[in-house]
Amino acid sequence: MNKILATIIFISIFSACPSIQANSQDTNNPAVDDQPLKEALSLPDWFKLSFLDIKEDINEANRGRRGLIIYFGQSYCPYCKAHLNNNWGRKDIIAYTRANFDVIAINVRGTSTVIDIDGKEYSEKMFAAHYKANFTPTLLFFDDTGKQALKLSGYREPYQFLAALEYVADKHYRNESFRDYMARAEQAESYGQDTLNSNEIFKAPPYDLARLVKQNPLAVFFEERRCHSCDVLHAGPLIRTEINSQFKNINAIQLDMWSSTPVITPQGKQTTAKRWADELALDYAPTIIFYDESGTEIIRVDSVVGFLRIKNVLKYINSRAYRTQPGYQLWRSDELKKKSK
């Protein structure tokens, strides 16, 4: 498919994003009630029944000229529910997915054995940690040659998820980043205010992050103008005192991810906000990336995020749990076990 035709199709996908009649959530609203679910989720019956031998799953999908999606989820996850209802609850998205991919599920807290592509064995939860599935749902996309083409962390709205499916199925990743692919179509439908949202937690320029990161952990907010999801973040979680107070010992800055604002990265490299965002392969606004005192990335939040998720991430950072835990989900599992005792 040529790029012009792909752009036309994608813009039409972006514009025609109807709500799911069977679901009360507004699929055009990125906000998610992220209270844990009271009832366990059921997975779609069209998911592939897998022995969790990933290489064999990829080979079997490839024999049918399809790719493979690994869905990392958990039973009481509200973001998983939003994805299963708003994306894989739509007949058009289901049809397109099944025509181009097999889908297998991994429980990020599960104990079943998974055999990775290289033959190494993991429990489900360690396999999730290995692939840094910090948030659920996380989706790994493999194309019909077995190449890992894309990773989506967290819940994405239907227009973005459709774009991700088409990006991999039509092999656009061979020619451009998902960031650039998304940006071409989003320019036609952007809405919101013409300036970035202000917040007292943000440090003023100049942005010498190599200096700031030596003092405390660092949070870099990559945002953009006319960004509805950014507006939702600032009008929701970031207006709450219990969230803002967590930034007392975290240095936070805000960058327009398309701007030429000068930045010295946590590793000491002089660049601009746009070039840095390109290098980081950012494809969602707002994206929040946390760095430790050595300038190493700890975790990034690059999907729809609500109050509880950002609260837990800030607790993970402020407790310095990232120094001892191999992954965020393993830390969360331990935290829940402590509460249940």
Give the confidence band of 170 by pLDDT, cuts at 50, 70, 90.
very high
Residues 254 and 165 in one domain: no
Band (8; pLDDT cuts 50, 70, 90) = very low
Does any domain span residue 334?
yes
What mean pLDDT is predicted for residues 208-226? Answer: 96
Alpha helix ranges (H) inside 16-113: 54-63, 78-86, 91-100
In this model, does residue 307 exceed pLDDT 80?
yes
User: Same domain for 177 and 227?
Assistant: no
Q: Measured between alpha carbons, how far is residue 103 from residues 49, 56, 132, 141, 191 in Å?
A: 9, 13, 19, 9, 33
Same domain, 143 and 224: no
What mean pLDDT comes out for the span 50-66? Answer: 95
pLDDT of residue 11: 45
Indicate if 216 and 329 belong to the same structural domain: yes
Within a domain: 194: no
Query: Does residue 119 sit in the same domain as residue 258?
Result: no
Distance CA 234, CA 199 (A): 8
CATH number for the domain spanning 254: value is 3.40.30.10
- Is 22 within a domain? yes
pTM of the model: 0.86
Checking if the pLDDT of 22 tops 70, the result is no
pLDDT-above-70 percentage for the chain: 88
The structure tokens listed for 316 are: 């993970």
Final residue of a domain: which of 186, 219, 248?
186
Q: How far apart, in whole angstroms, are the C-alpha atoms of residue 270 and residue 115? A: 42
- Would 191 be classed as within a structural domain? no
How many Cα atoms are found within 13 Å in the side-chain-facing hemisphere of 273? 18
What confidence score (pLDDT) does residue 206 get?
96
Do 158 and 228 sit in the same domain of this protein? no
Residue 217 is assigned to a structural domain of this protein: yes
- Residue 191 — pLDDT band, cuts 50, 70, 90? low
Q: For residue 47, what are the domain limits? A: 3-186
- Average pLDDT of span 16-36: 54
Asked whether 210 and 251 are in contact (CB, 8 A), the reply is: no
Q: Are residues 244 and 150 in the same domain?
A: no
Q: Is residue 202 part of a domain?
A: no
Is the domain of 17 the same as that of 151?
Answer: yes
Number of domains the chain is built from: 2
Establish if 195 belongs to a structural domain. Answer: no
For tokens 């965002």, the residue is 277
64 shares a domain with 168: yes
- Token pair listed for 179: 């960031």
Identify the CA nearest to 172 among candidates 5, 341, 340, 339: 5
| Co-location of 291 and 231 in the same domain | yes
Compute the mean pLDDT over every residue in the chain, rounded to the nearest whole number.
89
Edge-to-edge strand list for the sheet holding 138-142? 101-107, 67-73, 138-142, 148-153
- 15 and 138 in a single domain? The answer is yes
Within a domain: residue 59? Answer: yes
In angstroms, rounded to a whole number, what is the distance separating the alpha carbons of residues 273 and 220?
11
Distance, C-alpha 214 to centroid of its chain = 27
Rounded distance, CA 56 to CA 48, Å? 12
Same domain, 143 and 273: no
